[in-house]
Structure 1
Amino acid sequence: MWFLFKPRRCPTIAAAATSSISKDGDCAAFLPWLRSKAGTCISSVLSLGTSAFGRSLFASEPIQEGDCLMQVPYHVQLTQDKLPQQIRTLLAHGIGDTAKLAVLLIMEQHLELESRWAPYIKSLPTKDQMHNMMLWDPNELNIVKNSSIYDEAIEKKEQARKEFSALKPVFDHFAHLCGEVNLGDFMYASALVSSRAWQTPRGLSLIPFADFLNHDGVSGSVLLYDEQKDVCEIVADRNYAVGEQVMLRYGKYSNATLALNFGFTLSINRYDQALIRIDMPVKDPLYKYKLDIWQKHSLPISEDMYSSSDATCFVIKEVRSSRRKRMGIPQILRAFFRVFCAMSHEELEEMVMEAAESDGRLARYPLKNMEREIHAHRCLLLHFDNTIQCHSTAIEQLEIVDDPASRSMHPFRKEMAKELLIGELRVLQSAQAWVSNYCETIQSSE
């Protein structure tokens, strides 16, 4: 039986469609080692080399769409079931799969040349080559505090700290297997796993050779798991000429997700999205009533919306056309503003009545009172204006050469921050234009 799955986390460097290839000793020795360890040919059409983007895979002979690029047996993959039994029994239930695989990686790193995966471990990027956001320092993260990913990056760092605290007794007890492990070591190993491991039907796996494939946002290559042969297989989605870099798509990820989990961004990313944060207006005399009817009659829980203790956040994507249906901003965001911009109990009761006349969901459709409809959307425009201004200011700060915060930032991370914020700004401006056009259309029709 075949299983189709996507990489959970993959390599750390994005790549262009083609790159010049060069070889070094490590690259030349890697594939013969893996072939020997696997007891079978891993790939007859790919070679490992280095490019401006780091270690990469290149076509060593012409490749046709549908050709098998590689087959990697399960037994050569690094998986948490390869942890010593005495360590596995000590791992707390709160330790995630990424952390467990990071423990195994730390053990193999400690073994150095004695590791069964020594050539693979040696090929992994060093800590100073890693740019996952969990490795950014507080000042670097502060540069993107207006980004949709800022809170998640902080949470990811905190989660790593908690897991390290839970694992510290294990590291201390098995120091002869792990060496002296500090928080920085653990976060580096976790970043390697989170940026390179694949989620397979057999669990989270580091797959040597397969994780040298770099990211192409439009690739359609897939990775399959053959249950009978117990191998992972990658199939070409197009033709490749000799010497051309071979890539796949990690997923339909925004720059925020790529920065957080993989440690790179794209200059143009069609999957970018942005976040609109609405601080709850608790001083509004109608606040409790608005909140009550919103919770009773709002749209079903959506991936476009989530709430914290003090704010409600909405995820928006780029609006590519103001004319095509279902291409506007999230319906639930517009409904939210219709409710929370209401000025009286009567308006709110009218919304409830209008909802009862349709599908029971509050403010899903335009208000019958067009003046109030325009008012709600102009309030939304104000939020877009404020968010756009914050992003523009942050981008300008990054472009100031002598700015202390910008000057102290790692150059690659600085470029990541710019591409992240510019992509979100593009999304915000497209949504702003959509709402502005909507308001003008209503006014002109009155």
Structure 2
Amino acid sequence: MASAAVKGLAGTRQRQQVAAPGWAPRHRRCRCRLAAQAGLLDLLRGAGSTEIATDAEGEELKAWLIERGLPPPKLAAAATPGSGRGLVAAQPIGKGESLLSIPQQLVLTPAAALEQSCLRPLLEEQPLPAWSVLALWLAEQRAAGSAGGWWPYVRLLPERTGCVLEWSEEEVEWLCGSQLHSDALEIRAAAEASWAEMQAVLAAAKAQGRAPAHGAFGRAQLQWAFAVLLSRLVRLAGLGDQEALLPWADLLNHDCAAASFLDWSATEAAVVLRAERRYRAGEQLLISYGQKTSGELLLSYGFCPDLGSNPHDGCRLLLELAPGDAARNWKAAALRQHGLAASQLFPLRMAAAPFELVHYTAFSAAVVGSRQEAEQLARRLFEEGDIPPALQTAALEAVVAACKAALAAYPRSFDGDRAELDRLQDQASAAAASGGAGDGSADAGQQRRRHALQAVVYERQVLSRTVFVLQQELKDVQRLARRQG
């Protein structure tokens, strides 16, 4: 796969890493609500217990992994209300205790997948990116069924993940106007590129009789593998940013507020998870998949957190240097010195803006006569945080104009989308109140429509709020300029 394709697919999911905070304004339940239901005192003390509805297949996988070197964890696989299968505390757990430790031999890295692949000789001659190697291994193991070496794990992988690779073209178009639409197209194009780049290896495998006879490497089988990777692959910062599948640990569900994450420990030679607080027996353990917006979670995992429950929610605004600026090359070079690009996406949140947003547009609007001038201005803006008074009005106006242009790009009316979202939310609430299974039994297309609407409606609210706030600031700047003039 070309590097852009790898970035588009594999770079989408980083479960265990927490990104740098932006603005401040399938987990289906926030931890704060768990605290309220369980009783705050019990949570603080780690006292009490909840009956555990253990999941048989998940526990069988745990036992199978223990036989192969997994230290017995303090977690149990269970059916968790509203979340499907998850992991819960099998006993009271204290803050800082080790919850699980997955030794290296059970971490499914691309190297481990290559070692076990029937295509290994061909892949050593015609190397493919890590993403493709893992996808081929997954497809091979799934087709082998109970005869495969990793069947206890593979049989637990979902038939459908809900990620954007499983959406119809019509469903992708629901995101038109949003940066999410571009992201969705990039992810799907990367999967197509992965499929295309495999063809030479698969043709050679067929010619040499290396391909399994049970059709392991068909298009549908590989598409399933890509979807599983998009929704389950973990990037391990402590292992050189390497990506891997983590059997059993990938049953952990997401919480927008969780502080726990999975990562590689060099001292333990294992992927580890420690408790960030006390847990009662039977309480579900939740981790962070990263500080992602609801739309980003939807594309990768097929779910959106409840409205208002995701502190990282928002949208991204595209800003760029003017193509006709004679100093564009100087400015682009100066931006690179500060980790920025000539075309840059900035996260917007409901309550605040990232530091560089207005500084970036001030830099773009400035007239500079040399590379040295561009570098000096960049240092003043991005290191000292100081916007020259002469650039403040132009900078604020540029951000407002960019937000208004982003709002105008959505093809449907805000009021129409909001009315449809309210109707779908009312239907989902009524189904849950009547004793239905809620999202689990709802029509997948209707649920996806609701989540897509939730994402784009909130994005427009964030953009509108940003316009309002910056327009007020613009008035203050202009008023001050008139007084000083």
Both proteins in one fold, TM over 0.5: yes
Deviation at 1:358, TM superposition (A): 9.2
The separation in 2 between residues aligned to 1:73 and 1:300, in whole angstroms, is 42
Matched residue, 1:382 = 401
CA distance in 1, matches of 2:359, 2:337: 10
What is the match of residue 418 of structure 1?
Answer: 453
Distance 1:50 1:118, change over 3 A: farther
Corresponding residue of 1:42: 72
**Aligned 1:229-268 pairs, distance under 5 A:** 229-266=268-305, 267-268=307-308
Deviation at 1:366, TM superposition (A): 5.0
**Is 1:8 aligned to 2:14, yes or no?**
yes
What RMSD over aligned residues (CA atoms) do the two structures have, in Å?
3.7
**Secondary structure, aligned partner of 1:359:** helix
Query: Map of 1:82-101 to 2, 5 A cutoff?
Result: 82-83=113-114, 84=116, 87-91=119-123, 95-101=128-134
2:245 matches 1:206: yes
Change (3 A) 1:171 1:31: same
1:231 Cα offset (Å): 2.5
Partner of 2:426: none
- Tell me, in whole angstroms, the C-alpha distance in 2 between the residues paired with 1:63 and 1:103: 39
Q: How far apart are the structure 2 equivalents of 1:241 and 1:82? A: 37
Q: Higher strand share goes to which structure?
A: 1
- Provide closer, same or farther for how the CA distance between residues 71 and 279 of structure 1 changes in structure 2, counting only shifts above 3 A: closer
Alpha-carbon distance in 1 for matches of 2:337, 2:416: 34
| C-alpha separation in 1, matches of 2:52 and 2:327 | 62
Question: SS of the counterpart of 1:385?
Answer: helix
Q: Secondary structure at the match of 1:244?
A: coil
Aligned to 2:227: 191
Match of 1:301 among 336, 348, 369: 336
1:342 matched residue in structure 2: none
Classify the secondary structure of the residue corresponding to 1:49: strand
Instruction: Map 1:309-388 to 2 at 5 A.
Output: 312=343, 314-318=345-349, 320-321=351-352, 327=355, 329-336=357-364, 338-339=365-366, 348=367, 352=369, 356=373, 359-361=376-378, 364=381, 366=387, 369=390, 374=393, 377-378=396-397, 380-388=399-407
List aligned pairs for 1:395-414, cutoff 5 A.
396-397=416-417, 399-400=419-420, 410-414=445-449
Distance apart, 1:153 and its partner CA: 1.9
SS in 1 for 2:179: coil
The residue identity in structure 1 corresponding to 2:139 is I
1:167 to 198, 206, 219: 198
Q: Is 1:429 equivalent to 2:464 in the alignment?
A: yes
Look up the match of 1:438.
473
Q: Aligned to 1:123, what secondary structure does the other structure show?
A: coil
Q: Is 1:306–1:314's contact at 8 Å kept on the other side of the alignment?
A: no
Q: Could you say what secondary structure the match of 2:100 adopts?
A: strand
Are the aligned partners of 1:316 and 1:330 in contact in 2 as well (CA < 8 Å)?
Answer: no
Change (3 A) 1:178 1:153: farther
* TM-score, with structure 1 as normaliser: 0.77
Q: CA deviation at 1:9?
A: 4.5
Partner of 2:264: 225
5+ residue gaps, structure 2: 1-12, 17-25, 38-50, 424-442
Rounded to whole Å, the distance in 2 between the matches of 1:327 and 1:280 is: 18
The alpha-carbon deviation at position 44 of structure 1 amounts to 3.0
Pair 1:292–1:95, CA change in 2 (3 A): farther
AA in 1 matched with 2:361: L
Q: C-alpha separation between the residues in 1 aligned to 2:458 and 2:387?
A: 30
Q: Tell me, what secondary structure is at the counterpart of 2:299? A: helix
Distance in 1, matches of 2:54 and 2:254, equals 20
Unaligned runs of 5+ in 1: 1-6, 282-286, 340-347
Question: 1:393 and 2:426 equivalent?
Answer: no
Distance 1:423 1:332, change over 3 A: same
**Deviations along 1:360-396, whole A, 9 cap, x unmatched?**
44995656558xx546633542332342354573673
Task: Identify if the C-alpha distance between structure 1 residues 240 and 409 changes in structure 2 by more than 3 Å, giving closer, same or farther.
Answer: closer
Give aligned pairs, total: 403
Task: Quickly say closer, same or farther: Cα 1:319–1:367, change in 2 above 3 A.
Answer: farther
Deviation at 1:78, TM superposition (A): 2.7
- CA 439–8 in structure 1, closer or farther in 2 if over 3 Å, else same: closer
133, 137, 141: which is aligned to 2:164? Answer: 133
Match 1:272 to one of 293, 303, 313: 313
How big is the shift at 1:214? 0.9
Query: Is the contact between residue 73 and residue 231 of structure 1 (CA under 8 Å) also seen in structure 2?
Result: yes
**1:211 CA displacement:** 0.7
Question: How far apart in 2 are the matches of 1:118 and 1:378?
Answer: 58
Helix, strand or coil for the counterpart of 1:439?
helix
CA shift, 1:428, in A, is 1.7
Aligned-residue offset at 1:134: 2.6
Q: How far 1:101 sits from its partner (Å)? A: 0.7
Instruction: State the AA in 2 paired with 1:385.
Output: K
Aligned to 2:413, the other structure's residue is in SS state helix
TM-score calculated relative to the size of structure 2:
0.71
The change in CA–CA distance for 1:275 and 1:199 in structure 2 (over 3 A counts) is closer
Q: Matches of 2:479 and 2:225 in 1, distance apart? A: 59
Matched letter for residue 275 of structure 1: R
Change (3 A) 1:410 1:357: closer
Q: Is the 8 A contact 1:74 1:230 kept in 2?
A: yes
Match of 2:181 in 1: 150
Q: Contact 1:273–1:427 at 8 Å: present in 2 too?
A: yes
Q: Take 1:151 and 1:443, find their aligned partners in 2: how far apart are those partners? A: 36
Q: Residue 224 of structure 1: CA displacement?
A: 4.2
Partner SS, residue 244 of structure 2: strand
Q: Distance in 1 between matches of 2:285 and 2:99?
A: 9
**Which residue does the alignment assign to 2:40?**
none
1:8 alignment partner AA: Q
